[in-house]
Structure 1
Amino acid sequence: MQIGNVKINGILSLGPMAGVTDLPFRLLCKEQGVDLLYTEMVSAKGIMYNNKNTEALISIDEKERPVALQLFGSDPYIMSEMAKKIEERNFDILDINMGCPVPKVVNNGEGSALLKNPSLIEEIVSSIVKAIQKPVTVKIRKGFSKDDCSAVEAAKAAEQGGASAIAVHGRTREQYYAGKADWDIIRRVKQSVSVPVIGNGDIATPQDAERMLSYTGCDGLMIARAARGNPWIFRQIKEYLDNGTIIEKPAINEVIDMILRHAKLQIEWKGEYTGIREMRKHVAWYTAGYPGSSKLRNKVNEIENLDELTFLLETYGEKANAIQ
């Protein structure tokens, strides 16, 4: 897949998720075969005002690349100026968030609120494309409200503004992440624009990935929530698409090893206090569906350091293996 002047050696991307797709998790997904990584979304105003949390969000390890840095905002001037300000950072693609459904973003006219204003979409994209040399892409949703299918219009506006690729999540803002993703809208966007289209929504298995490609004709696949606690999904999808082989889900010992590696990366990156507390939700995702995981989730909320986490997981692993 080619996005502007950036060659992507495959079709799989990790979708941006606030509080999830930080640098440690991205590195683990990279090891498992993902082709394109997206950062957590970064506020253009946060960059402008030197927000203390922004630096961590825009930090990228050379081993991750290619990486799309995702920016959100609604003011074309601020967006383009901040894009220019950070262009020398080591990301490869600048992605504009036009799909975030959370009220604090939408109420500022940002994220999925932009779907209601195609002319503003074109203006934002155009201003950033003129300001920087790196490819500019957008991530949109099906539409804003229940009966809204504005994705085609939004995609055309983005392409007109100079976007090099468009990712489409097949749900409306109103749906958030509930209900079924509409793959028809992804197919319609693909038929309406000439730039690469990345399909997103309800890709939870390798078979889903194959069906999405076949049904929509999209150029790439974006996996987001299904990757939480499951970086292996990228390797599984690749193996299935390439060879028709189904890789079984990892044994509990492999899961525990991955959790501990993730925890060490988090601590290295954010310190033990924050790193361990952020790992609590990841542990719940990693162990979902394994024997005794509900009791583990209760206990993990009490751990405060790596030694406690290691002991808890080793004890859990012994019990889980005995049950299996």
Structure 2
Amino acid sequence: MRIGQYQLDNNLILAPMAGVTDRPFRELCRKQGAGLAVSEMLSSNPRVWNSTKSKLRMDYHDESGIRSVQIAGADPLAMANAAQLTVQQGAQIVDINMGCPAKKVNKKKAGSALLPHPELVKAILESVVDAVDVPVTLKIRTGWDPENRNGLEIAQIAEQAGIQALSVHGRTRQCLFKGEAEYDTIKTIKENVTIPVIANGDITSVEKAKYVLDHTGADAIMIGRGAQGAPWIFNEINHYLNTGQYAQCLPQMEITEILLKHVQALHAFYGEVMGPRIARKHVGWYLQEQDRLGYFKRKFNAIDTPSEQLNVLESYLNQL
């Protein structure tokens, strides 16, 4: 799959997720087979750009792989300025967020709250495309509620505005993450536009990945929650799509190494205070099957120092 001048290694993409797809996780997922990893969204509001959170989100200038950076906002000029900033920082692809259903994003008329306003969508897309000389992509939902699935209309506006690829989550804004994703709307969009279409939503297994690609005819699939605690899902899906066979399960020793290195990377990236705090949710995702009653999770979440976190975690993993 290509996005503008960039050829992806494969058609599996890590979805942008606020608070999840930070630099350590993006690097890890690329090592585990993702053809592209999209960053957490950066607000188009310049007043927050100097915050610690925003500065960390803008740390990608020498990152490996193709650097795709997502921006969010509702003002065409502000979005254009944000796009230019990300390119100055090293972004090679700018992704526009019109899919996030979170209240704190939607109350600012951003994310999926833009979907009922096609004229504003058009103005934002054209403003961003005109502002930068790198490919611009867009992420949307199928509509704003099940009775108003206008994903095709938005997709056609995007194509006319010069968007280079479109990701579609198979739910509406109203659906949040409840129920099951539907893929018929994505199929319809793919059949009616010429730009690459990326299918997203509930892809948590190799079988589901194959089904979604076959059903929608999409050029690629985007995986979000399915990669939390299981970044090797990209290698597993790649193997299945290429061979028709299941990959061998990773040995526990290799999983232990991946998890420990991930936690070390989080400590190094966020520092001694925030690093252990951020590591807690990732460790919880990795161990949700082994620690179903949450005994280890409670113990681990009470630890504040990087060295103790690693020691306790390694000891627990060695017992598995």
Normalising TM by the smaller chain, what interval?
over 0.9
Pick closer, same or farther for the CA change 1:233–1:168 going to 2, 3 Å.
same
Q: Is 2:201 the counterpart of 1:189?
A: no
Describe how 1:99-114 pairs up with structure 2 within 5 A: 99-114=99-114
> Partners in 2 of 1:318 and 1:28 — Cα distance?
22
Residue type of the partner of 2:160?
Q
What is the CA deviation profile of residues 30-76 of structure 1, one whole-angstrom value per residue up to 9, with x for unaligned ones? 11111111000000114775444222112116353212100000100
What is the CA deviation profile of residues 126-182 of structure 1, one whole-angstrom value per residue up to 9, with x for unaligned ones? 111111100111000011123221111111111121111100000111111111101
The answer as to whether partners of 2:136 and 2:163 remain within 8 angstroms in 1 is yes
Residue in 1 that maps onto 2:280: 280
> Partners in 1 of 2:307 and 2:52 — Cα distance?
29
Pick closer, same or farther for the CA change 1:250–1:293 going to 2, 3 Å.
farther
TM-superposed deviation, 1:9:
2.2
> Partners in 1 of 2:199 and 2:309 — Cα distance?
37
Residue in 2 that maps onto 1:116: 116
TM-superposed deviation, 1:248:
4.2
Pick closer, same or farther for the CA change 1:271–1:50 going to 2, 3 Å.
closer
Describe how 1:48-87 pairs up with structure 2 within 5 A: 50-60=50-60, 62-87=62-87
Q: Is 2:143 the counterpart of 1:143?
A: yes
Query: Once superposed, which parts of structure 1, at least 4 consecutive aligned residues long, lie more than 6 Å away?
Result: none
TM-superposed deviation, 1:307:
2.5
> Partners in 2 of 1:130 and 1:231 — Cα distance?
35
Q: Is 2:209 the counterpart of 1:213?
A: no
What is the CA deviation profile of residues 14-40 of structure 1, one whole-angstrom value per residue up to 9, with x for unaligned ones? 000011000011111111111111000
TM-superposed deviation, 1:312:
2.0
Q: Is 2:289 the counterpart of 1:289?
A: yes
Residue in 1 that maps onto 2:203: 203
Q: TM-score, normalised by structure 2?
A: 0.95
Number of aligned residues = 320
What is the CA deviation profile of residues 65-120 of structure 1, one whole-angstrom value per residue up to 9, with x for unaligned ones? 21210000010011112222332222211000001111111011100011111111
The answer as to whether partners of 1:141 and 1:168 remain within 8 angstroms in 2 is yes
The answer as to whether partners of 2:86 and 2:94 remain within 8 angstroms in 1 is no
TM-superposed deviation, 1:310:
2.5
Give secondary structure in 2 for the equivalent of 1:235: helix
TM-superposed deviation, 1:317:
2.6
Give secondary structure in 2 for the equivalent of 1:195: coil
Residue type of the partner of 1:24?
P
The answer as to whether partners of 1:39 and 1:70 remain within 8 angstroms in 2 is yes
Q: Gaps (5+ residues) in structure 1?
A: none
Residue in 1 that maps onto 2:159: 159
Residue in 2 that maps onto 1:11: 11
> Partners in 1 of 2:52 and 2:314 — Cα distance?
36
Pick closer, same or farther for the CA change 1:150–1:264 going to 2, 3 Å.
same
Residue in 2 that maps onto 1:32: 32
The answer as to whether partners of 2:200 and 2:222 remain within 8 angstroms in 1 is yes
> Partners in 2 of 1:112 and 1:191 — Cα distance?
22
TM-superposed deviation, 1:256:
2.5
Give secondary structure in 1 for the equivalent of 2:171: strand
> Partners in 1 of 2:47 and 2:222 — Cα distance?
26
Q: Is 2:218 the counterpart of 1:225?
A: no
The answer as to whether partners of 2:145 and 2:173 remain within 8 angstroms in 1 is yes
Q: Which 10-residue stretch deviates more, 285-294 or 141-150?
A: 285-294
Residue type of the partner of 2:80?
S
Q: Which 10-residue stretch deviates more, 143-152 or 292-301?
A: 292-301
Give secondary structure in 2 for the equivalent of 1:64: coil
TM-superposed deviation, 1:192:
1.6
> Partners in 1 of 2:61 and 2:204 — Cα distance?
27
Residue type of the partner of 1:110?
A
What is the CA deviation profile of residues 244-297 of structure 1, one whole-angstrom value per residue up to 9, with x for unaligned ones? 221244343333222211111111111021111111110110112126662211
> Partners in 2 of 1:72 and 1:303 — Cα distance?
34
Q: Gaps (5+ residues) in structure 2?
A: none
Residue in 2 that maps onto 1:96: 96
Describe how 1:167-178 pairs up with structure 2 within 5 A: 167-178=167-178
The answer as to whether partners of 1:23 and 1:61 remain within 8 angstroms in 2 is no
Residue type of the partner of 2:268?
E
> Partners in 2 of 1:273 and 1:185 — Cα distance?
44
